[in-house]
Amino acid sequence: MRAVMDTPRDFLAALRRGRLAAGLTQSALAQKVGCKQSALSMLEHGSATAVSRETLARIADAVGVELPPEPAAAVLAAAAAAPPAGFAFCPDFECPTNMPYFVGSELLLLPLGSAGAGRHCAACGELLERACRACGAPVRRGCGCCTACGAPLVAAPAAGFAPDPRAWAAERRAAAAAFSKAFAL
């Protein structure tokens, strides 16, 4: 049989389709193959280094998809290759690529950037942004607000969105720290 997939993207899409066809949630599949749900999510969004070769083989086996003949690492690395130049960030405040912080009582988000994802966020699949929404100025790594106009790059959630915004922020910071470690952001 010819390699099932023509491109790494096809392969990753097939993994996802296979999982859905098997009636498995990401959590259920992750548990079955012994990886984290977040790693599986990253993998399905095209992140090359989300899981080990062994785990990838177990995932493919569990959802009935044939591994491409080439070393999977090379295949997946190609999937994540060549992101457009410049700093890109995810506009979703709940995404683990955005680190919540407080200035006084104001909740702000620091975009860590999205590694190896091309046009879409490696963590959540959202379309990435590269400029300030308010003024269009290019954005810089390490800034939560636009250096030209001061607008927050990632819109914070509305007041009252969580019963305890500081507890919410602490939880999201832990997720962001784990994500940035996994992706060396």
Helices (H), the chain: 8-21, 26-33, 37-44, 53-62, 72-80, 165-183
Residue nearer to Zn ion on the CB measure, 17 or 140: 140
- How many C-beta neighbours within 10 Å does residue 31 have? 14
Q: Considering the rule CB under 5 A, would residue 162 count as an interface residue with Zn ion?
A: no
Q: Considering the rule CB under 5 A, would residue 148 count as an interface residue with Zn ion?
A: yes
Q: Considering the rule CB under 5 A, would residue 134 count as an interface residue with Zn ion?
A: yes
Q: Considering the rule CB under 5 A, would residue 143 count as an interface residue with Zn ion?
A: no
Chosen residue from 12, 95, 99, 117 binding Zn ion by CB under 5 A = 95
- How many C-beta neighbours within 10 Å does residue 108 have? 18
Residue nearer to Zn ion on the CB measure, 33 or 39: 39
For residue 185, the minimal CB distance to Zn ion (Å) is: 12
Binding to Zn ion (CB under 5 A): which residues in 97-126?
A: 121, 123-124, 126
* Number of residues located near Zn ion, criterion CB under 5 A: 15
Distance CA 82, CA 59 (A): 25
Residue position matching structure tokens 């083989």: 57
The residues near 47 (Cβ < 8 Å, ≥ 6 apart) are 80, 115, 116, 117, 122, 183
For residue 92, the minimal CB distance to Zn ion (Å) is: 5
Residue ranges in contact with Zn ion by CB under 5 A: 90, 92, 95, 121, 123-124, 126, 132, 134-135, 137, 146, 148-149, 151
